[in-house]
Chains A and B, each alone.
Chain A
Amino acid sequence: MTKQISAKEFYDQVEQGQGVTLVDMYADWCGPCKMLAPVLDEISAQYAGKANIYKIDIDQNQEVASRYQVMAVPTMLLFKDGQLVDKLVGFMPKQSITQKIDAQLV
């Protein structure tokens, strides 16, 4: 399962963190987000120990959403060593997401 995090955890573990992290900015009312969830759960399992996969509810954590100018849900933010390196807007098939993660793991 993809780990749900709070804004505080986001600042501590993503912005101050090391390695590759993908954060799914989602909302409960968003249809495509519901479809993305099982895809990210699979990726979480597959990348355990290699990359962190988190999700954050934008309605509960609006300051994070506005800091990264999230204009559509879902938006996936990809970080490397705390720096934003890619922004993936909208649903994507699993392979498109893992390609983006792999590109940061090398």
Chain B
Amino acid sequence: MRVDIAVVGTGPAGLSAAINARQRNKTVALYGSADLTEKLVKAPEITNYLGFASISGEDLADRFKDHLKAASIQIIPQRVVQVFAMGDYYALQLSDQTFAEAESVILATGVNLGGAIPGESDLLGKGVSYCATCDAALYRGKEVAVIGYNAESIQDANLLSEVVAKVHFVPFYKDLGGLSEKVHVLEKGKTAILGKDHVEALQVGEDEIPVSAVFVIRDAVSPDHLVPGLETQGVHVAVDRQGKTNLPGLFAAGDLVGRPYQYMKAAGEGLVAGLAASEYVSKLNRPQASS
């Protein structure tokens, strides 16, 4: 079923966008962590959220969850791998390799303050990949590396080990439970991806390991990789006051669109984008899906 609006991200911007779109009677699919964003949950004390002189991130997150419940919105706990502008609708590729469809999309994925690994951006598509299930088959019989930041990277390393000659794994994630014995785990160190026209080696600490591909598996990827064709300004998505991007029907809100990185500002922008997307969908004049 094609929903009216897909919201990507479960921080204040995404939640606020989803709630406001529901209030405008739009069908909404909300994708992200069911425990909400870590940036919120891990905040020890918030003192500038209107109505709460002092509240912990965890308590504010609980309030947000109650609000979602009241609005009958359930979080779909899947990672959105990529969003495709199909012309008159959007297709979202999910981490279980299925596709979902939406008339409009609101991006609220936050900003990745970690930054790229040296060589990552230059060699993207030239051996650097963000999707093991997508590109594993290109490296049959070759040696590859996985730089893993999350639980999904363990599964991806296992999957690759079934297809390629050898998998090296750089763990930026603590829990390696379930990692296949076939995967060669490296000592974490200063990491860089080396190569001129294509990936030739992975540098970890003092060692250089010759590999044909490096799979970087983390939660947040750069927005212009998440949505091919999306216009960005540095690490942020370029938007107007309505949260509109250069792609018709695609909106963005929260830390992703710029500073200050504040919960209140994100929630406000989520509201603006939620209403702008609702208006966009209403103007499409499509037969209404029952909600």
Minimum C-beta distance from B90 to chain A (A): 10
Residues of A within 8 A of B124 (CB): 89
Chain A interface, number of residues (Cβ within 8 angstroms): 25
Q: Which residue of A lies closest to B82 (CB)?
A: A32
Minimum C-beta distance from B241 to chain A (A): 23
Minimum C-beta distance from B144 to chain A (A): 11
Category for how many chain B residues contact A: 20 to 34
Q: Is A94 an interface residue (CB 8 A)?
A: yes
Residues of A within 8 A of B229 (CB): 92-93, 95-96
Select which of B91, B129, B137 is within 8 A of A35 by beta carbon.
B91
Residues of A within 8 A of B126 (CB): 69, 71-72, 89
Q: Is B262 an interface residue (CB 8 A)?
A: no
Q: How far is the CA of A29 from the CA of B85 in the complex (A)?
A: 20
Q: Which residue of B lies closest to A89 (CB)?
A: B125
Which residues of A from 13 to 34 have beta carbons under 8 Å from B? 27, 29-32, 34
B82-98: CB near A (< 8 Å → 1, else 0) gives 10111100010100010
Residues of B within 8 A of A75 (CB): 125
Q: How far is the CA of A33 from the CA of B173 in the complex (A)?
A: 31
Residues of A within 8 A of B228 (CB): 90-93, 96
Residues of A within 8 A of B82 (CB): 32, 91
Q: Are A31 and B86 in contact (CB under 8 A)?
A: no
A78-96: CB near B (< 8 Å → 1, else 0) gives 0000000000011111111
Which residues of B from 135 to 165 have beta carbons under 8 Å from A? 135, 137-138
Minimum C-beta distance from B121 to chain A (A): 13
* A31-B134, A93-B247 known; A69+B84 contact, CB < 8 A: no
Which are the 7 A-B pairs with shortest beta-carbon distances? A89-B125, A93-B85, A93-B229, A35-B84, A72-B125, A96-B229, A91-B228
